[in-house]
Amino acid sequence: MKKTYVLLLGFISLTLFAKNTQADDQRNGSLFFSVGTQYRITPISTSDSKGGPTTFNHVNTDIQNSGPALFYTLDYYITKNLSLGFSHSMRYDLITMGRPEIQSDTGVQSADYGLIFGYTVYLDYHIKAFKNAELVVHLGKSRLNIGTDFTSKQTFYVNNTAVPSYSQEDFAYFAWDFALGYKKKKFNFTIGAYTTSVTNYAYIDDFIVPYFSFKYNLGTLF
């Protein structure tokens, strides 16, 4: 919870310091602060029939990687058309499913939910395709599903004696972020996808998470 309070405090501080947005042809050398919302669509994945589980998988990958997220971005314009950006997203979502550890004859056990974070460093190239609007080509590198830590247990038998083994794991992974956006004044609408071929999910090969997002520019920090 302390991390959440720090993030909220930082967000409020950046909002208060943001200045009015500059014109597009005068934005080079400026740092822009924006907030937005993103919706991640059900992932597209292919199964790896050759390999086995790479981690303890009491999780629904579709649920964990889809749904809404809130985010903020910092965009520094190297030129009026090229910007270097950083994005930080936050969502409340599934960590692990309920585990079959109920000791009584009947009962239920709830799934674990928590705050999940994502970070992206990216480049945006703006194309003046319309009189009062732009197309934005977006390429980034992301670290997703940060905060999905859990403890797994495996039991080995040595001379008919059960020996438990515990390990700390998570479902975080790196992904490329490809997108195409439409920007008009302070508003930006984007359609894109996170893509990776390396995750900690069992039997998963290629993994694609499509998304769309809306972003509003609050102004410049300098």
Digitized pLDDT (tens) for each residue of the chain, 222 residues in all: 555 555 554 555 555 555 565 566 678 999 999 999 999 999 998 765 444 444 446 788 888 999 999 999 999 999 999 999 999 999 999 988 866 565 555 555 678 899 999 999 999 999 998 889 999 999 999 999 999 988 766 666 767 776 666 677 889 999 999 999 999 999 999 999 999 998 888 778 789 999 999 999 998 888
Those residues whose C-beta lies under 8 Å from the C-beta of residue 32, and which sit 6 or more positions away, are 21, 73, 74, 75, 76, 77, 83, 217, 219, 220, 221
Task: Give the pLDDT of residue 55.
Answer: 43
Sort strands 31-40 and 44-47 into parallel, antiparallel or unpaired.
unpaired
Task: Give the pLDDT of residue 4.
Answer: 52
Task: Give the pLDDT of residue 157.
Answer: 73
Of 144, 155, 152, 153, which Cα lies nearest the Cα of 169?
152
Could you tell me if 198 and 174 are in contact, meaning their C-beta atoms sit under 8 angstroms apart? yes
Sort strands 187-196 and 150-158 into parallel, antiparallel or unpaired.
unpaired
131 is written with which tokens? 């009189």
Of 181, 187, 221, 219, which Cα lies nearest the Cα of 22?
219
